[in-house]
Structure 1
Amino acid sequence: MVESRNLRIGVDVGGTNTDGVIIDPERSHEQDRGIIAWHKAPTTKDPSHGIANAITTMFKSASVDPSSVASVTIGTTHFVNAVVTRDSKRLSRVAILRLSGPFSRHAPPGVDWPASLRKIIVGHYALVKGGLEIDGSLISDIKEEEILDQCKLIKEKNIRSVVVNSVFSPIDTQERQEERAAEMIKRELGDQVDVVLSKTVANLGFLERENAAILNASILSFARKTIASFQDPIKKLGLKCPVFITQNDGTILSGEAASRLPIRTFSSGPTNSMRGAAFLIGDQAKGEAVMVVDVGGTTTDVGLLLANGFPRQQAAYSELSGVRMNFSYPDVKSVGLGGGSLVRRIQDRLQVGPESVGYKLPEKALVFGGDTPTATDYIVAANSEIEIGHRGLIQGRLTEKDTKAFQEEVKTMLERIIDTMKTAPEDLSVLLVGGGAVIAPDTLKGAREVIKPQWSGVANAIGAAMARVSAVVDTVKSTEKQTSKEILAEICRAAKQRTIEAGALPDSVQIVEIEDLPLQYVSNQARFIVRAAGDFDFARSSDFADLSVTKDEDDSSTQSEPSQDAVSASSSGNEHVEEDITSDVDIEAYVPRVIKREWWISEIDLHWITIGCYILGTGGGGSPYSTMIRLRGILRSGGTVRVISPDDLKDDDRVGCGGGAGSPTVGIEKLSADEIMDAQNHLYDLFKGGRATHIIPLEIGGSNGLQGLVLGSSPNMNVPCVDGDWMGRAYPTKWQTTPVVFGEREIIFAPVAVADGNGNTLYMGSATSDLKVEQVIRAALSHMGSAVGTADAPVTGAETRRWAVEHTISLSWRIGREVARARKGNRIDNVAESIIDAVGGSEAGRVLFKGKIVGVERKLHMGHVYGEVIIEGADAPYTGKIKVPFKNENIAAIRITDGGDSETGKEKNEDVLAIVPDLISIIDAQNGEAIGTPEYRYGLLVQVLGFNASERWTSPRGIELGGPNAFGLNHLEYRPIGKFVKPTSVIDEYDAMG
């Protein structure tokens, strides 16, 4: 009998089975890894019974004294399942108060959700005064009377969960707007109402943080009930130890913390499996990344466990059940392969999955007397050493040829997904875990070794038992009086202290992740993200043992159905939300609507154009996502968006221009108000040359590529948007545009108007140069929230035909369509080649490189973020390394060789794969989406594309303004990738069909 208080219990409550282990960490170096008991049994309807059964059974089998148990840690899928299944009995309605003033009005809460989920959860919302600018100054202070008025409406609707979301709340340490608003709500509505502060749930990214906070608020009542039910059997068994819940990154939350933040447990299952697998092989995985393959009954989940012991996380955003969020989420890919997978012969090929008998395997599989051939049957037939069910029941029913074909198909499926998840060409260790791991082979291409550790079937429970403690600091700080190094040192200390406060042993705490992101167009500001982690301090167990969770008096999680007027707020008609129609479109049969040479944009068109705009942004321009949401709302509300060809402009037409200027980081947090229309209205109040008859985007790259469509839409200027722009890409400065290249006017961008959306406007009627216009706007930015809308005085139709980079909206559409085709046809591996075909084929561009990001450096200078990303090739012909220097946007793609100095930039010209003004775009190799320069991070699998610039840029004047010398690469010459191919106009192609 173990006498010391050192045992850890891990329990994983899954949808099918409840697994349990008891581990003595002091014996983890021994062959049995310190595992003194384990248990697996079907999950019970009341999970507390299954937990009690698991622990009781293990206590008896190993003669464990309850007083020797230091902790119980539980992993569960209950909360995420409530969202995935859209269970209205477990999801509460939520009211959302945005402290945002006029900002975000065009993207109301839940606007990008599946309609069925939004209907269940979003019961009320309002935009009230509040929010901060990125430098910490006020957009406006909160007004108590506004909040109290909303409390009355919330009370009338019988809503008991409230989310408070303030602009830039994660950096609000002085004004405490969310906290003050919560105090007012509690005072008015009482303690029976849950108030969730968005800043406690997720980090920067207004819409995504709010989405996570809303889901969190919706499951709070259910979470309290569930976690209390987890704790009850622990108390009844006489255990006087803390009960923890595992969270998404493989670390622990106290039961009390998990009852406040259940969303942090959503992806704990795969993470626990990965960490459990690594624990089982011990020092074999020390200091290097390992691939974990978890084979269940229905699916196989694959993730990369990094050398720091934590799973590789997804890129900037994660998605659950159609809801986009920005909290930590492991990068796990799934394939329909498991022990219960159906095995069928289709023509001359054996197909395994994706359909599965799942938990009905014991009654459906042949080896158990059923009538359905499954993967389990085939592996039993193929391997005489595997004893599952009754081998005699399959004798003569499965041929040797079929069993060999089955083994080859499983091997191919696993090798394919492992290759997708790898971040380097070298072979690495692959750990096979899960109840279905028996179907996997002992050798796999790309694996240095395939390890099937003992007790792999309960790896989830092992990972839960051995989970660590962590904390994250994500903040924006001024670099004016301190260096980034000094600031990082302070933040690292703060992250370590938070980790210790969360229960970590001080001596074990280490910094496991650091990101330093300078912010363009924001004076002396940078975003810092630091994560620390450490082992739990069991000497402090008593500090956490009494943090029990109390069930609600009314433990029913249901509330009254939402009324017809459940949603109230100022908005732009976006309340009507439908399911995404783009995923089911027949791409080959789709025909855009072109009537009398006007292209009427549909939601499908918008989806494809959005993808294309970000790719043409060459790493810059800011994500077009929130602008797409605004346009989609206009279309769904009955508004119209029209596009015409520049070829159809009359000489005396007046073509205006407008868009956003400022930092993309501001754009993800302070969502648009009406600044781009405020700028247009202010311009025409003072400009006497007549209002624009048409509008053209400033740049096609990034968010501004869609702003012309927003301005031209029927609720705004109600004029056609020209199928073209002034850049053909994104460039960092306003004077890097084709009207300046042509130089037919002394000044192009004056008069100009600027607005910040909060009532502040600026009009510049004249200027000495276009560069001066740029300088004035940049100076104004620091006093106008670092993000503004701009409006330029119109030019003539004749000038537009000469100056515009033509048909770039059409080009965006074609690029986006190719990405959609590749996704639908599971051809993402070749998406880069498909995009090249869309821009004109091998003459117009080429795939420059494919590989993994292995290094990123950034620095801020004169308002712009400079840096470079290093990419290592995985397979021939893309071997070796390249670097892509950037100044907000990508400047070049340069092969790193022994003959060049990558630090001084003195490369040989023959090492240059592509250089400005040609376009260099980096896309995510796993989904075909563009990756912006702020999103570059280690480990991302990418494909690098190069497109030839428009002939508008390849004149001597164009190369001077937009070529290597403009970015300080004076030692390199511009050599075009190929020959520019003018994009085919959608209007020209489809007009006859309309």
Structure 2
Amino acid sequence: MVGGTDSDSSLKSVRIGIDVGGTNTDAVAIDPSQQQHSSRGVLAHFKTPTTPDVTAGIETAVRSILQKSSIPVDRIASVTVGTTHFINAVLEQDARRLQRVAILRLSTSFLREVPPFSDWPSGLTSIIKGYVGYCDGGLHIDGSEEAPIVESQIIERCAEIKQLGLTAIVIVGAFSPIDEVFRQEDRVKEIVLRELPGADVVVSHEVANIGLLERENASILNAAILRYAKKTVKGFRRAMKVLELTCPLFLTQNDGTLLDSAAAANIPIRTFSSGATNSMRGAAYLSGHTAGSAIVVDIGGTTSDIGMLLPSGLPRQASAYVTVAGVRVNYSMPHLHSIGLGGGSIVRPTDESVAVGPDSVGHYLTRDALVFGGKVMTTSDIAVAAGKVDMGDKQGVVGLELPLIERAESRIKALLEAAIDVIKTSPEPMMVLLVGGGAVLAPETLAGASQLTRPPFHDVANAVGAAISKVGGIVDVIQGVADQSVTQAVDHAKAMAIQRAVDAGATKDSIVIAEVESLPVTYVANQLRTIVKAVGELDVNMQPIQLDDDQDDASDDTGEQGKDFSVKIADEPPVDPRTYKPTIKRIAETGVQEWQISETDIDYLADGCYVLGCAGGGSPAASRIQLRDMLRAGHTMRVIDASALTADASIYWGGHMGSPATSNERLQALETFHAFTALMEYLHHDSFDAVMGLEIGGANGLEPFLVGSSRFFDRPVIDGDWMGRAYPTYWQTTLAVHAPGELVPCAIDSGDGKTMLMTRASNDEIVDRALRASCSEMGSRVGMAAKPTTTDRVQRFGVLNTVSLAWRIGRCIAMAEATNTLSTVAEAIVNEVGGSKSAKILFRGKIVAVERRLFKGHSYGSITIAGLAPSEEESSDDPETRLTAVATGGTLTIPFKNENIYAEHTADDGTISTLASVPDLIAVLDSGSGRSLGVPEFRYGFRVTVLGITCSPRWTETPAGLAIGGPGAFGYDDVVYTPLGEYVEPRSVIQEYGRL
């Protein structure tokens, strides 16, 4: 924003808010200086149907409130619009509104194995994908430069883009959100604009935060709608000119803050879900709620959106990753729970009760509802019959009997209470604010609500929220804390956020720090990631940069009548897990049965490995895409049983070492292959007989398939690993337990030209410590190849059939999705891993606290899970399949060092007990999806199921096993390991399906 003083700014106290919904456009005029009055400063409000030409509806609404309030236009300080138009263009896959995008990735050695659009829906990909190019560049996790920008490469890529006629370009570099020194993305943008004048260029660090694929996805969506966004924003400004409004125009962001119109036209993705946020902010303003958290229930015509308003006055945000139109992104979005209850919800009497929704007459309410002469009983009819609202003709509901009305109201009450329970994170009652046109449906009291408030002007709360939005500044930075304290690092991040808020148009003395989150970077010493949000009041003296409204636009019509939905590609339906069978092939020459891996197998393995990772091991998402694409390219992967190894077989093993946070930016690469090659060269080995994984947990569970594939060494993967789970360090293996001294010689490789060999060591622990220190200097992630081992050691000391186990767990999740039984996916996993004698559901609840901290330079943390009330428990179609958790009520605390260490239950009476601990497996499942949550995904408010699985006896049959893998190995000497149950060896997929 560029500053500019208006001599009459002291008179500019009125703010106009507009919400452009799918059905109605709402507008309000507010003078916030009068918010202490009963009117809350609302001077006028108006509701009009949303028009195909959206600017006409805005013009009508604003003209009406100006006339009704007689406000002079020179008193208007700002106009703020909240709109769903941009997200609708993506959701509807409207080819007229979306443009093809070119992507330039910046990294010399990485980012090539998992290309853009790897996990997009086919329909959107066909419309948007235009070009993908790679250039030198990129950063390491510590902010140092992986490689400098090479201008000639950028010029070459621009020539290729120009030849294709593309004008929307996304630039995405590894670790660009922390690039404060080299400004690689910005420098490339300057070159691109010089070579392609007039192009729409999006730099990813301005769109989203750490997490390259998700940030890139958000940037691509943003670029695809840029042309349409600029047209739309200019249309808003033209409507203001017609009304002779000269004040600044803003759009609302998803987090409840403002974007000036020029920024909104450049980053329209930030407006995608601002409507719900506006309703929540408007609810707080209209009710006068300023202290503590509150639940906001926005009841519309078809659905009710329930969210949590934080003490900062901003809505609680969703998890790190959200999905928009099937595309995974990581920009800020409000955490909402939606139910099918609205003013148009259809009411149907049943034998014993009354069904309400989820279907609705929607915007046909005034045609179909009983009170409007229609034949459909709706919740609005019930409200009129109950005397709650005066709407339509009351004679239309005279025939409704009192018992029916009472049962319908009881059902509405139950739906709202259940929804409030879902969004709450503690059993204590909370303030509930009711807004939206359907707010009149709510009863006078609700269980779980300490106070129920339906504020004045509740039906235009969304427009109110837009009008009173604040200005924000956000930073997401990784800093070293070896030469400064954590407090100093956090203070620096706060100062950056405050300055960004000022630059965005906030008055400096009004700015407060709304949110601070410090996340120690796992497995990287003395690195702290800090996310800070600062918010303040709009400075009406600031004159924001505006679009050139007179600039000529393309001539195509992008009105409603111009929509083009003809380009549609249906995604292939997933393979039915109920009928799928893996392919087992017997090799004629050897008689060995080999499991031929398919895309479906990779999908199952990825989900299963993350569960076995016990919150660690890194996300398998990028590995899954890499292996899937290799299969599609014709490469093969195979698995053999350990019993099929010859006595003299040479087995190579290894995987990744380092920080999962590095993998989030570098994605998947070939470090492990290069490490294998380096060790083979040192040992003068031309080949080997089989490959085995370091650990089955997380992304490392898939790494053997990369090096064993026909693309590289073409060797089978052994159905087993050296942990049976994930552990933080290389030496925490069953091989080190039973055959110490077998880790060296070994090799590590950074993937960008740095390789190191370690040939001798005095003990196994020093091997890991030395390699990890080197790993930090080599970019904080390396591939590792360990000393080749023998058939005897694999069969005697390995944890066998764990590839089969991961596959079976992943199939359980796929089966639950296919059969709509996600509420009992944990029970299915228990049965698959050996039944209740081997595995248990430890606890069900909601995450109510997440703590992350640095201790001696390393990352530790814990989550606290509050037990669910009986009313919050998910129902099951077959109650007999529902297993009783080991503990109910109270809270469960799970400390972690990337992997979960133990589960400690505190009962309601204060009794403390340890339910499980390492080396047994503790997995935290997202109850909504059935999938595992890793440490990076732990977020406040998640509803989870905690699963415990008994570990392999390789960990418990000797004292050394518990010394290396038990609680004491993590510094918890006071936690005594007690076996969770009896170990059941996983069933071999090869043996089961090889007989078919």
- TM-score computed with the length of structure 2 as normaliser: 0.91
**Shift in Å, 1:825:** 5.4
Question: Would the alpha carbon gap of residues 831 and 308 (structure 1) be closer, same or farther in structure 2, given more than 3 Å must change?
Answer: farther
1:179 aligns with 2:186: yes
Hey, what does 2:700 align to over in structure 1? 704
Whole-angstrom CA distance in 1 between matches of 2:349 and 2:26: 35
Partner-residue secondary structure (3-state), 1:699: coil
Whole-angstrom CA distance in 2 between matches of 1:776 and 1:385: 72
Whole-angstrom CA distance in 1 between matches of 2:821 and 2:294: 26
Whole-angstrom CA distance in 2 between matches of 1:401 and 1:740: 71
Equivalent in 487, 497, 500 of residue 498 of structure 1? 500
Deviation by residue 1:220-263 (Cα, 9 ceiling, x = unmatched): 11111101111112122122211110000001011111111111
Hey, what does 2:444 align to over in structure 1? 442
Question: Would the alpha carbon gap of residues 599 and 431 (structure 1) be closer, same or farther in structure 2, given more than 3 Å must change?
Answer: farther
Deviation by residue 1:903-951 (Cα, 9 ceiling, x = unmatched): xxxxx9x732222111222233443332222443444443332222111
**Shift in Å, 1:21:** 0.8
Whole-angstrom CA distance in 1 between matches of 2:770 and 2:617: 20
Whole-angstrom CA distance in 1 between matches of 2:84 and 2:75: 28
Whole-angstrom CA distance in 2 between matches of 1:182 and 1:118: 24
Equivalent in 201, 204, 211 of residue 198 of structure 1? 204
Deviation by residue 1:71-130 (Cα, 9 ceiling, x = unmatched): 111100010111111111011111000011231112111111101101111100111111
Whole-angstrom CA distance in 2 between matches of 1:270 and 1:835: 36
Whole-angstrom CA distance in 2 between matches of 1:151 and 1:545: 28
Alignment of 1:128-143 (within 5 A): 128-143=135-150
Question: Would the alpha carbon gap of residues 588 and 445 (structure 1) be closer, same or farther in structure 2, given more than 3 Å must change?
Answer: farther
1:605 aligns with 2:608: no
Alignment of 1:542-621 (within 5 A): 543-544=543-544, 551-556=551-556, 579=571, 581-582=573-574, 585-596=575-586, 597-621=593-617
The one-letter code of the counterpart of 2:491 is A
Partner-residue secondary structure (3-state), 2:692: strand
1:887 aligns with 2:897: yes
Hey, what does 1:840 align to over in structure 2? 834
Deviation by residue 1:363-384 (Cα, 9 ceiling, x = unmatched): 343443444444434544x424
Contact 1:95 1:154 (8 Å CA) reproduced: yes
The one-letter code of the counterpart of 2:889 is T
Alignment of 1:49-198 (within 5 A): 49-190=56-197, 192-198=198-204
Contact 2:318 2:333 (8 Å CA) reproduced: yes
The one-letter code of the counterpart of 1:269 is G
Question: Would the alpha carbon gap of residues 17 and 292 (structure 1) be closer, same or farther in structure 2, given more than 3 Å must change?
Answer: same
Contact 2:386 2:405 (8 Å CA) reproduced: no
Whole-angstrom CA distance in 1 between matches of 2:572 and 2:773: 41
1:295 aligns with 2:299: yes
**Shift in Å, 1:695:** 1.8
The one-letter code of the counterpart of 1:703 is A
**Shift in Å, 1:826:** 5.3
Partner-residue secondary structure (3-state), 1:911: strand
Whole-angstrom CA distance in 1 between matches of 2:252 and 2:708: 49
The one-letter code of the counterpart of 1:889 is E
The one-letter code of the counterpart of 2:19 is D
Contact 1:222 1:557 (8 Å CA) reproduced: no
Hey, what does 1:781 align to over in structure 2? 775
Alignment of 1:920-935 (within 5 A): 920-935=922-937
Hey, what does 1:726 align to over in structure 2? 722
Partner-residue secondary structure (3-state), 1:138: coil
Whole-angstrom CA distance in 2 between matches of 1:379 and 1:835: 46
**Shift in Å, 1:344:** 4.9
Question: Would the alpha carbon gap of residues 83 and 434 (structure 1) be closer, same or farther in structure 2, given more than 3 Å must change?
Answer: same
The one-letter code of the counterpart of 1:496 is I
**Segment of structure 1 superposing worse, 414-423 or 147-156:** 414-423
Gaps of 5+ in 2: 1-8, 559-568, 587-592, 871-886
Alignment of 1:627-706 (within 5 A): 627-688=623-684, 691-706=687-702
Deviation by residue 1:583-619 (Cα, 9 ceiling, x = unmatched): xx54434433344443333333322322222222122
Hey, what does 1:717 align to over in structure 2? 713
Paired-residue identity, %: 46
1:759 aligns with 2:753: yes
Hey, what does 1:954 align to over in structure 2? 956
The one-letter code of the counterpart of 2:600 is I
Q: Give RMSD over aligned pairs.
A: 2.6
Partner-residue secondary structure (3-state), 2:688: coil
Aligned pair count?
A: 955
**Shift in Å, 1:330:** 0.9
Gaps of 5+ in 1: 559-576, 901-907
Contact 1:517 1:527 (8 Å CA) reproduced: yes
Whole-angstrom CA distance in 1 between matches of 2:969 and 2:324: 43
Partner-residue secondary structure (3-state), 1:782: helix
Deviation by residue 1:520-567 (Cα, 9 ceiling, x = unmatched): 3334221111111112123x14x2385665554325489xxxxxxxxx
**Segment of structure 1 superposing worse, 721-730 or 252-261:** 721-730
Hey, what does 1:324 align to over in structure 2? 328
Partner-residue secondary structure (3-state), 1:52: helix
Deviation by residue 1:618-671 (Cα, 9 ceiling, x = unmatched): 221111111112122223334333223334333333332121111111110112
**Segment of structure 1 superposing worse, 755-764 or 656-665:** 755-764
**Shift in Å, 1:463:** 0.6
Question: Would the alpha carbon gap of residues 337 and 712 (structure 1) be closer, same or farther in structure 2, given more than 3 Å must change?
Answer: farther
Question: Would the alpha carbon gap of residues 882 and 579 (structure 1) be closer, same or farther in structure 2, given more than 3 Å must change?
Answer: same
**Shift in Å, 1:978:** 1.7
Whole-angstrom CA distance in 2 between matches of 1:89 and 1:404: 49
Contact 2:388 2:440 (8 Å CA) reproduced: no
Equivalent in 430, 434, 453 of residue 432 of structure 1? 434
Whole-angstrom CA distance in 2 between matches of 1:933 and 1:80: 30
**Shift in Å, 1:13:** 0.8
**Shift in Å, 1:736:** 0.7
Whole-angstrom CA distance in 1 between matches of 2:595 and 2:442: 52
Contact 1:221 1:552 (8 Å CA) reproduced: no
Whole-angstrom CA distance in 2 between matches of 1:557 and 1:789: 53
Question: Would the alpha carbon gap of residues 444 and 182 (structure 1) be closer, same or farther in structure 2, given more than 3 Å must change?
Answer: same
1:388 aligns with 2:391: yes
Question: Would the alpha carbon gap of residues 419 and 223 (structure 1) be closer, same or farther in structure 2, given more than 3 Å must change?
Answer: same
Whole-angstrom CA distance in 2 between matches of 1:710 and 1:847: 33
Hey, what does 1:574 align to over in structure 2? none
The one-letter code of the counterpart of 1:655 is I
Contact 1:299 1:335 (8 Å CA) reproduced: yes
Question: Would the alpha carbon gap of residues 603 and 43 (structure 1) be closer, same or farther in structure 2, given more than 3 Å must change?
Answer: same
Equivalent in 5, 12, 21 of residue 5 of structure 1? 12
Contact 1:225 1:550 (8 Å CA) reproduced: no
**Shift in Å, 1:954:** 0.8
Hey, what does 1:24 align to over in structure 2? 31
Contact 1:254 1:547 (8 Å CA) reproduced: no
Whole-angstrom CA distance in 1 between matches of 2:378 and 2:708: 57
**Shift in Å, 1:196:** 0.9
Hey, what does 1:236 align to over in structure 2? 242
Contact 1:873 1:879 (8 Å CA) reproduced: yes
1:488 aligns with 2:490: yes
Partner-residue secondary structure (3-state), 1:703: helix
Whole-angstrom CA distance in 2 between matches of 1:852 and 1:374: 34
**Shift in Å, 1:720:** 2.4
Whole-angstrom CA distance in 2 between matches of 1:588 and 1:346: 34
Question: Would the alpha carbon gap of residues 112 and 953 (structure 1) be closer, same or farther in structure 2, given more than 3 Å must change?
Answer: same
Whole-angstrom CA distance in 1 between matches of 2:230 and 2:704: 48
Hey, what does 1:45 align to over in structure 2? 52
The one-letter code of the counterpart of 2:279 is S
- TM-score computed with the length of structure 1 as normaliser: 0.91
Partner-residue secondary structure (3-state), 1:132: coil
Question: Would the alpha carbon gap of residues 402 and 797 (structure 1) be closer, same or farther in structure 2, given more than 3 Å must change?
Answer: farther
Question: Would the alpha carbon gap of residues 929 and 233 (structure 1) be closer, same or farther in structure 2, given more than 3 Å must change?
Answer: same
Whole-angstrom CA distance in 2 between matches of 1:763 and 1:145: 36
Hey, what does 2:455 align to over in structure 1? 453
Hey, what does 2:880 align to over in structure 1? none
Contact 1:73 1:244 (8 Å CA) reproduced: yes
Contact 1:256 1:548 (8 Å CA) reproduced: no
1:339 aligns with 2:343: yes
Whole-angstrom CA distance in 2 between matches of 1:122 and 1:305: 38
Whole-angstrom CA distance in 2 between matches of 1:217 and 1:475: 24
